[in-house]
Structure 1
Amino acid sequence: MSHQRSSGNLLADRRYAYAEACLAEGDAAGAAEMAEQALEISSDWAPAWVLLGRARAFAFTRGGAEADRAAALEAFGRALALDPDDVLGSRLHLAGLGAAEAATAIGPAYIWALFEGYAPRFERHLVDELGYRGPQMMVEALDALPDAPPHFPRALDLGCGTGLMGRALAGRVETLAGCDLSPAMLAQARRTGLYARLCEADLVAFLAAEPADSADLVTAADVFIYLGDLAPAFAGIARALAPGGRAVLTVQSPEEGEGIVLGADGRYAHGDAHLHAAAEAAGLAVVALQQAAIRRQNRVDVQGRILILRKAHKKA
């Protein structure tokens, strides 16, 4: 029932390592064979089932054989049964094969696992190696608005990570609170000394717990790539924002379509139609939507948009 990297059996672990190496070299058949050997030794080891599923799915994408797709679905299903919280992201793989709902394929446990181990090298990799400057671009977009105030009394940073957005907002906010699913990320953010309050929580739950009309600014930098339907998040933002308050966030652009697209990169992209519909349903006005390279992946700019929303002032 373990989702740990080690099966507890040296032979199974070695077969797993060989399978990973084969898959990295594009040898789907070799990867599947080694993963199956690992499972013969340790049949309840969920990572080996995921690896077998990845090998079979890769073979399916290259050859189109329905038997490979069926084998991949079975393997991911076995992994999910052993890992019901889906720390290993089996639903994401199933969605890629058209066998799971794309809008809910990425769950909190998967995101937690993704970032919990990434925290110590997160900033070095993202900023120094990939040249990430999403928070700075978001602040610049906010400053470009003709009526944007230079200072916000109360701000909320959704998916705050290690505190990069907090640094970009330094001197611009009086009180800043943040949330993240990863305790390791929150520990890094706490060290910045920029946050008055940090909560280990899903952003929708965090927003629901905030007092209504209590925030002047809400930020979400490179966070909504892990959420399918943005309507619940936008509704939470609208509730937390004070009248006249603003939200600035980044979203990934789909290569085609206007709705929610789960890409091959395992990230969600959102079309303009979905953004406008979610904002309208929440009672938020779209005041800016500008193109931007929101991050780099495999040395290529990932195209997205910076979206700024505003909550209307209450009528007298």
Structure 2
Amino acid sequence: MHSSGDLLADRRYGYAEASFQESDWEAAADLARQALDLAPGFAAAWFLLGRAREAQLRTEPDGPDAAARRVEAVQAFENARALDPEDRQGAGARLAMLGIGDPMAAISPGYVRALFDDYAIRFDRHLVRSLRYRAPELIHEAVRRAASLRLRPFRFEAALDLGCGTGLAAELFRPVCDTLAGIDLSPAMLERARSKRLYDDLAEGDLLPWLAARPAASVDLVLAADVFVYLGDLGPVFAETARVLRPGGLFAFTVQAHPGEGVILGDDLRYAHGEAYLRALAAEDGLALPLLEDVSTREDRGEPVPGRLAVLAR
């Protein structure tokens, strides 16, 4: 549990969390405020207050107190973010959902790192068994088909795994890659990936600087399995990937999908990218598009999440 350092404030916060879990939004907000009276610098309590007011806005959008609740939610999320500059709870994304700030910059690296550090210990089992996650398998088969269409061997001298997580993609691609390097924001995920001994190199950090530091035309396969759901603007990543790919190299990735134009930040705090947006980026960077398909890489509450699978070629 989050701690303020004040036992009474922490107790009030615990009650607020329990009320929130029981969908008693008003009690959760009141208890969070009580915690903040005792510990005004308690970022988690500010965030919980924002969540409670946000939940009330969602369930009663036209209620008589909607305007006041929105003001309190915005202020609470802004306070939470100010007290935690890394924004590990995702207050920026919550503000974007309320129409505050740039949605394309709403998800912070700190939020993604904290999310997956907490998730790492149960990641593989929960994804595969509970969410029916299959992005690595779909990408593996798609790369095989794209290689055949491009009349090139299904073998790669140097490959990169963007947002490699625990190494689920590496388990499939290691046999066809002479060298394989991975990058991820989460040290806990990297620890589990390292234990599998599948990568020649693993790095912790943001994928864009890591890509930018690599020599031009130095790899012939780049993978990104369900990584771009946390990136709004894919332009810089596409440009750097096109730069590091050798002629004949492949770039395979999945995204969440939506039927409209451009990019949207969904209620699940993940980005969804439109088909025309992906095609435009590929053309802009001089990449062919031998394969673009509608797929679902996972389920949410038993329902397939709409997605897309693409393989681009240099």
Unmatched runs of 5 consecutive residues or more in structure 1:
312-316
Which residue of structure 2 aligns with residue 233 of structure 1?
A: 237
Which residue of structure 2 aligns with residue 130 of structure 1?
A: 131
Distance in 1 of aligned mates of 2:183 and 2:229: 16
Distance in 2 of aligned mates of 1:242 and 1:32: 55
Match of 2:282 among 276, 279, 284: 279
Instruction: Tell me, yes or no, if structure 1 residue 158 matches structure 2 residue 155.
Output: no
TM alignment of 1:221-260, pairs within 5 A = 221-254=225-258, 256-260=259-263
- Asked whether the equivalents of residues 231 and 281 of structure 1 are also in contact (C-alpha less than 8 Å), the reply is no
Q: TM-score, normalised by structure 1?
A: 0.94
For 2:306, what is the secondary structure of its paired residue?
A: strand
Distance in 1 of aligned mates of 2:142 and 2:172: 12
Write the letter of the residue equivalent to 1:167.
E
TM alignment of 1:190-209, pairs within 5 A = 190-209=194-213
Instruction: Tell me, yes or no, if structure 1 residue 141 matches structure 2 residue 142.
Output: yes
Unmatched runs of 5 consecutive residues or more in structure 2:
none
Distance in 2 of aligned mates of 1:28 and 1:189: 39
Instruction: Tell me, yes or no, if structure 1 residue 309 matches structure 2 residue 307.
Output: no
CA deviation profile, 1:221-279 (whole Å, cap 9, x unmatched): 0100000010011011101111110010000012x421111000010000012111222
Which residue of structure 2 aligns with residue 21 of structure 1?
A: 18
CA deviation profile, 1:209-230 (whole Å, cap 9, x unmatched): 1111001000000100000010
Instruction: Tell me, yes or no, if structure 1 residue 55 matches structure 2 residue 58.
Output: no
Write the letter of the residue equivalent to 1:180.
D
Which residue of structure 1 aligns with residue 80 of structure 2?
A: 79
Structure 1 position 170, deviation (Å): 2.6
Distance in 2 of aligned mates of 1:188 and 1:283: 36
- Asked whether the equivalents of residues 253 and 270 of structure 1 are also in contact (C-alpha less than 8 Å), the reply is yes
Instruction: Tell me, yes or no, if structure 1 residue 97 matches structure 2 residue 98.
Output: yes
Distance in 1 of aligned mates of 2:14 and 2:153: 54
Structure 1 position 117, deviation (Å): 1.8
- Asked whether the equivalents of residues 161 and 189 of structure 1 are also in contact (C-alpha less than 8 Å), the reply is yes
Structure 1 position 286, deviation (Å): 1.6
For 1:289, what is the secondary structure of its paired residue?
A: strand
RMSD: 1.2
CA deviation profile, 1:82-108 (whole Å, cap 9, x unmatched): 112211211000001011211110011
For 1:160, what is the secondary structure of its paired residue?
A: coil
Paired-residue identity, %: 50
Which residue of structure 2 aligns with residue 314 of structure 1?
A: none
- Asked whether the equivalents of residues 158 and 203 of structure 1 are also in contact (C-alpha less than 8 Å), the reply is yes
* Alignment coverage as a number of residue pairs: 307
Structure 1 position 128, deviation (Å): 2.6
- Asked whether the equivalents of residues 291 and 311 of structure 2 are also in contact (C-alpha less than 8 Å), the reply is yes
Structure 1 position 173, deviation (Å): 0.7
Q: TM-score, normalised by structure 2?
A: 0.95
